[in-house]
Structure 1
């Protein structure tokens, strides 16, 4: 069976890109002939693909575009062309992320394709909905120009989504959000899986490590973690923060670290390949997650798998992954409450270790990639 994956652009090896690559690799491992159509692919992402996956890049020059908003604009402008590249003998098409919707619309309406087409909705385009005001402010003068077009953009987004045969969601939180916006049934395909190779449950001694693995973007709210650190250090001077990831907020976060005199306490590690991530999970005592309405929270799941208790905001998908008081703690998105919960887990070592063991055990039982791919492939048409 030939499966065509349409993923508009691999800008960096962040959560969505990692998930798209993982699904592609798993389908290939199951024996499907997988074609990956994309406008451009960051070299870091391409390294993660397994052999046997055919990759077609239509606009690789987009890798050289540095401005985030220009990159998004060009992505939506060129994505129609991906629909023209979909092989006619495809048995099923998987459209990933909201920016693939114009390609889905063109594929169904203009090519008159009868191929079953599923829309993997990681999340509706947040710049059109819950992050509208924030986006317009960040765009400055361009925001005032674009604002009158918002009703049209929302209409097109909802219109294009209706052309999919099925919309798929990874968490109950996101399923409800998608149904609220698109006003149609959504199939819950989650939960996702997690790679458990090398996972261990014992605690590490010596210096205490706080870890976060995220794209460095304002909505990840990593600035709250940095701002909470002085209060934590007052109680536990021997502590360090490891920040894995890169993104547009990196310079602002580094500036904040310097202003607070925390350069010896906070390490920015940049991009880390998937195969090397376990090295940092092994080091961590507590994982911190503060992102606003995260669709699922793959890094949270990975931390739990490695026996690390998680302190997280009770928003989005992570709210479904963490059991309060058993595998982690919820906190308000402010530095005071984060510091309070972190100090508690550092002080109560027995409780922290107990949470870590419980987390690892639950993840091993419930979150398997094999089960996820079974659920996905069961939706594919029977091949005679």
Structure 2
């Protein structure tokens, strides 16, 4: 048994959080002792496994500011994570000391963890280089980010092992951190399929749901396009709205009346962008005269998300150059064809014309795929079946768990060898 600690900034709802929770579930199922240490955890805005006692969760440093004068979010995030790293390294009760620390998102904690008196092995999971988020910023922002970007590169290189979530991210990692000799391994995220199977079985058994609308504004005979992603501008929800408007011009009026777009996004009132972008999408919906066809949902629970996936007819995935994207796998596992952009991680998960469509970042291409799936039920059902098989064959939870378990055990064995050299 290996004692593993996941060190994560904010255990909210998002792809990074889903990844670390699934990784924790995988290691726990392999017999390891797993816990979380975080700067923030809201039991009403998180994945249920971190709130229902599945894992011990300890919160430190939440009293530290998340921003200063509406700015300096990155700086504050680094300070908060450093605080957590110092706690884990020097103030953690002896009974809670661990063998391996898995951290992600913020690498500044890595050198602090290496100084810990019990010297745990450090595994860093790189979702995407953080510094690229400021690549197009103005001069002052780039000057502010320069020391943070330098820290990111040099502290990632101090981890005992680095993983990335896709071949696309691996290429970006190597292009971005050119001074590092580190060559990360690719570990694709997976789904905790046992939970999805349980939820699907529950939905099938509760036949009453078949008589209830999925939402008050979604009639029973609706054709549902589902878009799941956080309410952030980079997630490109506007593409789904513009494509739906184009679809309305392509379909007969009676057919378009059946069409509904449900956008179900992570929403945190502490995040200014979430609040602002939600309002922007409401305004865009009104501008495009789609109020009768669009439903905006905020932070659906796991159960609600499964229900949406179960009843939807296809999944829309709109971010461009997304580093991986777990949502397409969720859609395919629920036998839904996926319409995504032909860039980034989705090119490694979605097979064009087989499990869905990979489109250009324009409403004509995206809306055309939506039109084809509406018109061709046989194609839609076939793509759904092929998508489900692809997840089982290429992205199974068992394969993910086996590989992560192997990495953790090898990492610990290497550390033991070094101690005796």
The bucket for the TM-score relative to the shorter chain is 0.7 to 0.9
Q: What SS does structure 2 have at the residue aligned with 1:316?
A: coil
Instruction: Please report how far the alpha carbon of residue 130 of structure 1 lies from its aligned counterpart in structure 2 after TM superposition.
Output: 5.6
Shift of 1:185: 0.4
Cα distance per residue 1:54-93 (max 9 Å; x no partner): 2111133469879985544321122111112224631111
How many equivalent pairs are there?
Answer: 368
* Residue 222 (structure 1) aligns with: 237
Match of 1:272 in 2: 300
SS at match of 1:8: strand
1:242 to 237, 240, 262: 262
Compute the TM-score of the two structures, normalised by the length of structure 2: 0.80
Q: Is the 8 A contact 2:135 2:142 kept in 1?
A: no
- Residue 119 of structure 2 corresponds to 114
Q: Say whether the 8 Å CA contact 1:107–1:113 is kept in structure 2.
A: no
Shift of 1:47: 3.5
Q: Do the aligned partners of 1:41 and 1:63 also contact (CA within 8 Å) in 2?
A: no
Distance (Å, rounded) in 1 between the aligned partners of 2:362 and 2:69? 29
Greater C-alpha Rg: 2
**How far off its partner does 1:149 sit?**
3.5
1:60 aligns with 2:62: yes
Give the Å deviation of 1:283. 1.4
Deviations 1:268-322 (A, max 9, x none): 1111112332210111111111112212111110000111011110111111011
Larger deviation, residues 57-66 vs 12-21: 57-66
CA contact (8 A) 2:113 2:122 kept: no
Does the 8 Å contact 2:127/2:323 carry over to 1?
A: yes
Cα deviation for residue 341 of structure 1 reads 1.6
Structure 1 match to 2:4: 3
Q: Is 2:7–2:38's contact at 8 Å kept on the other side of the alignment?
A: yes
Contact 1:305 1:360 in 2 (8 A): yes
Q: Taking structure 1 as reference, are residues 261 and 20 closer, same or farther at Cα in structure 2, changes over 3 Å only?
A: same
CA distance 1:46–1:351, change in 2 (3 Å) = closer
* Contact 1:223–1:253 (8 Å) recurs in 2: yes
Alpha-carbon RMSD across the aligned residues, in angstroms, is: 2.6
Q: For residues 129-208 of structure 1, what are the structure 2 equivalents within 5 Å?
A: 129=132, 131-133=134-136, 136=137, 144-182=139-177, 183=180, 184-195=182-193, 196-197=196-197, 198-199=199-200, 206-208=221-223
Counterpart Cα distance in 2 of 1:271 and 1:332: 28
Q: Please show how residues 252-291 of structure 1 align to structure 2 within 5 Å.
A: 252-291=280-319
Q: Closer, same or farther in 2 for the Cα pair 1:293/1:193, shift >3 Å?
A: same
1:290–1:46 Cα change, 3 Å: closer
Change (3 A) 1:46 1:301: closer
Residue in structure 1 matched with residue 353 of structure 2 by the alignment:
325
Q: Deviations over 1:331-380 (max 9, x none)?
A: 11111211112112211221111111111122223322222121111122
Q: CA offsets, 1:142-199, max 9 Å, x none? A: x553322443332221111111011111211112222222242011122523524155
Unaligned stretches of 5+ in structure 2?
205-209, 211-219, 268-273, 417-421
| 1:39 and 1:58 in contact (8 A); partners too | yes
Specify the alignment match of 2:419 in structure 1: none
Where does the alignment leave 5 or more consecutive residues of structure 1 unmatched? 137-142
Aligned to 1:299: 327
Paired position in structure 2 for 1:140: none
- Structure 2 distance, partners of 1:102, 1:355, is 43
Distance 1:265 1:158, change over 3 A: same
Distance in 1 (CA, whole Å) between partners of 2:200 and 2:59 is: 35
Q: Does 1:312 align with 2:340?
A: yes
Partner Cα distance (2:388, 2:231) in 1 = 27
Partner of 2:77: 75
* Secondary structure of 1:281 counterpart: helix
Question: Which deviates more from structure 2 when the two are superposed, residues 112-121 or residues 343-352?
Answer: 112-121
